[in-house]
Amino acid sequence: MSEGVAGRLLHVANNIEAWDVRLSTSLLDSVSLTSQQWTQFFDSLDDWSVTLTEAVKNIGSAVVDSSQKKTGSGSDMWVVSLSLVMLVSSCVHLSSSLEVGCI
């Protein structure tokens, strides 16, 4: 996973999307997730929380590489903004899947 804000946001968005697919497939096939899968899902929620907290701490600086940081530029902010849009979209889709599953 990238150390930068965008990398962290994309990491979370990709994981949310993967869980959305698993949950949607489970609902469509009327197959319940196993206890182990639910445990993995809730562990993922903790991971997402930590990852997003780290991303928020890094807003305003862009990571060039592991040892060098620079002040964020306009293009860096565009990447972060796009990543946030993708993350919110993934969250909305995942929450829709969970609501359907609760009915």
The structural domain count of the chain equals: 1
**95 to each of 3, 24, 101, how far by Cα in Å?**
27, 11, 10
Would you say 2 and 8 are in contact if contact means Cβ atoms under 8 Å apart? yes
Q: Does 103 fall in a domain?
A: no
Find the domain containing 54 and state its range: 5-98
Residue 89 domain flag: yes
What sign for the dihedral angle of Cα 33, 39, 40, 46? Answer: positive
Residue 19 covered by a domain: yes
Count of C-beta atoms within a 10 Å radius of residue 100: 12
Over residues 32-85, the pLDDT tens digits come to 888 999 899 989 988 988 888 888 877 776 555 454 455 545 555 555 666 666
Q: What is the pLDDT of residue 26?
A: 86
In the block, tokens 């809730």 appear at 42
Question: How many angstroms separate the CA atoms of 96 and 67, rounded?
Answer: 40
Q: Report pTM.
A: 0.60
In a domain, 49, yes or no: yes
